[in-house]
Structure 1
Amino acid sequence: MIIKKNFLIAAALFASSSAMAGEFSLGAGAVFNESPYKGYNKNTTAVPLISYEGNSFYIRQATGGWILWKDNKNEISLTASWMPLHFDPDDNDDARMKRLDERKASAFLGGAYYRHERWGSLKVAVSGDVMDESGGLVGEVSYFHPVRMARLTLIPSAGVFYSDASYNDYYYGVSGSESRRSGLNQYSAGDGWSPYVGLTARYQLTQSLFLTASAVYSVLPADVKNSPMIDRDDSFALLTGVSWRF
């Protein structure tokens, strides 16, 4: 299931709510997101919820990782991620946006480093488009801190996403031929940084059944929000779901 139109969802939702070592959970949820693209209404999409933590491999929602080195405080891994940002002109309600080219989702390969302390955890990650849809590079620096209570775990997080000019221009740029067809101004996007804050809540109903809600709010980079394809300055996504721990 592709989550359309919001590039933060796969990267941030559930990113900090991984399972304990040796734990596997599977479930289903729904994502509500406000697309930054013109011509899209607020929408809800069904998504699978997958989490697994092993000694040498993990799955954290849309990212799989192969652990190269790990101790009590540090983790270094190679990562493979599905970046779901996708623009389909046939799904758009704006007459000019309908005349633009399609932008496809893509797979990214890269690496991630985690540092865990009593005051929280730091994450640094970078990856590149291996399907050459955008040919772009993205990165993240973030902080999260689980707060565990009896049955409830809260995980506030904050960070910044980076996307290079190739990535931004593919998803938000307007070529000369597109401009002539659509009437939108021609536009070339540069790189940019997008700060975000998030909160994940995980509630244990039974020994194996969990309810989860996760919300992320971000501010779009200047080179994104200045695109004629975009009609807002920020982005919001909310995921709710239920999962079963095996």
Structure 2
Amino acid sequence: MLINRNIVALFALPFMASATASELSIGAGAAYNESPYRGYNENTKAIPLISYEGDSFYVRQTTLGFILSQSEKNELSLTASWMPLEFDPADNDDYAMQQLDKRDSTAMAGVAWYHHERWGTVKASAAADVLDNSNGWVGELSVFHKMQIGRLSLTPALGVLYYDENFSDYYYGISESESRRSGLASYSAQDAWVPYVSLTAKYPIGEHVVLMASAGYSELPEEITNSPMIDRNESFTFITGVSWRFLIHRWMSVRLVLRRNATKVVALDCSVHTGNLASESGSYG
């Protein structure tokens, strides 16, 4: 099964937040993906929807970030993420494609930078394959802007993904041995730029539940479409789901109240609060 790289981008943008409070969102949804690989039918799968925004780290679906520096306009973080892109010949309907080697999803590590302006947010990131499946790396440059229309929030985004030669060749290339087994022509994929657009909508139901939907479209370059593995020039992804929002409070306070009657201590009040998990009903996004 192939899950398009755009799902990573679609997940991250809707849940990116700049609030100072710690926010947690947990839910479930479904992702529909039109795979560019030949022999694949459109597929739908259930997915978890998880995000957390804290003071020092965040979870934005498939990406865990450790914040190195943060200001009103800028955020720089180290990232660890899961790349869901994969190819499983056992799931393919095309006999020739069934003879190819499996391409595995992989773990990535890198850096991400966000810059906030009134007109929107710019994101730049780069991450390398740390499991050595592809021995490649991926970059992303995007801009997105959240618009509020009553309770409905819309976040359009425009961006481009960069796949280096090793990454492209792992997922879209065909080796000489694969060519002999399958009858497909051998192909060495080059580095590629993949532009995409997306639109995310979120609508709160009551105080705690949020409905979300996100659609993304990417235009595949000839470095990818020239591969005999590929039979379409574009890729489309649609995600919908529901999540529950929380605000996490963490504090510790000690109050010492002395009341004196003449020379005698009447009362000593010492209280310690160590934590609370409460539903959050304010703005989120």
Residues 5 and 37 in structure 1, CA contact (< 8 A), matched pair in contact too: no
The structural deviation recorded for 1:148 is: 1.4
| Aligned residue runs from structure 1 range 44-83, under 5 A | 44-83=44-83
Determine if the alignment matches structure 1 residue 242 to structure 2 residue 239: no
Quote the residue 1:200 is aligned against. 200
Which amino acid is the alignment partner of residue 213 of structure 2? A
Q: Which runs of 4+ in 1 moved over 4 A?
A: none
Structure whose alpha-carbon radius of gyration is higher? 2
**Aligned-residue offset at 1:17:** 1.6
Contact kept in structure 1, 2:196 and 2:217, CA below 8 Å: yes
- Letter in structure 2 aligned against 1:103: R
Query: Secondary structure of the equivalent of 1:104?
Result: coil
Name the counterpart of 1:92: 92
C-alpha contact (below 8 Å) 1:110/1:126 kept by paired residues: yes
The CA deviation at 1:7 is 2.0
Mapped partners of 1:7, 1:14: distance in 2:
10
Q: Tell me by how many angstroms 1:8 deviates.
A: 1.7
Conserved 8 A contact 1:5-1:36: no
Find the residue that maps to 2:116 and give its secondary structure. strand
**Where do 5+ consecutive residues of structure 2 fail to align?**
247-285
Amino acid paired to 2:45: T
Letter of the 2:225 counterpart: K
- Give 2:268's aligned residue: none
Q: Distance in 2 between matches of 1:184 and 1:82?
A: 30
| Letter matched to residue 30 of structure 1 | A
Indicate the residue corresponding to 1:103 in structure 2: 103
Q: Deviations over 1:156-208 (max 9, x none)?
A: 00010000000000000000000000000000000010010000000000111
Q: Which amino acid aligns with 1:17?
A: P
What is the rounded CA distance, in whole Å, between the counterparts of 1:64 and 1:221 in structure 2? 29
What amino acid does structure 1 have at the position aligned with 2:50? I
Cα distance in 2 for partners of 1:172, 1:184 equals: 12
- Deviation by residue 1:75-123 (Cα, 9 ceiling, x = unmatched): 0000011001111111100000000000000000000000000010000
Aligned to 1:167: 167
Is the partner of 2:12 in helix, strand or coil? coil
Aligned residues: 243
Kindly report the root-mean-square deviation, in angstroms, between the aligned alpha carbons of the 2 structures: 1.0
**What is aligned with 2:225?**
225
Alignment partner, residue 15 of structure 1: 12
Please say if residues 184 and 228 of structure 1, whose CA atoms lie closer than 8 Å, have aligned partners that are also in contact: yes
1:148 maps to a residue whose letter is Q
> Does 2:23 correspond to 1:26?
no
Q: Which amino acid aligns with 1:76?
A: L
What are the ranges of 5 or more consecutive residues in structure 1 without an aligned counterpart?
none
Q: CA deviation at 1:126?
A: 0.2
- 2:207 counterpart letter in structure 1: Q
In structure 1, the residue corresponding to 2:242 is in which secondary structure? strand
Amino acid at match of 1:189: A
**Contact (CA 8 Å) 2:11, 2:62: kept in 1 or not?**
no
Answer whether contact 1:68 1:78 (CA < 8 A) is retained.
yes
Alignment match, 2:43: 43
Give the secondary structure class of the aligned counterpart of 2:158.
strand
- In structure 2, the residue matched to 1:138 is 138
User: Residues of 1 paired with 2:207 and 2:149: CA distance?
Assistant: 15
Shift of 1:5: 3.6
Please give the alpha-carbon distance, in whole angstroms, between the structure 2 residues aligned to 1:175 and 1:13. Answer: 32
Q: Secondary structure at the match of 2:190?
A: coil
Q: Distance in 1 between matches of 2:57 and 2:11?
A: 17
One-letter code of the match for 1:14? F
> What SS does the aligned partner of 1:96 have?
helix
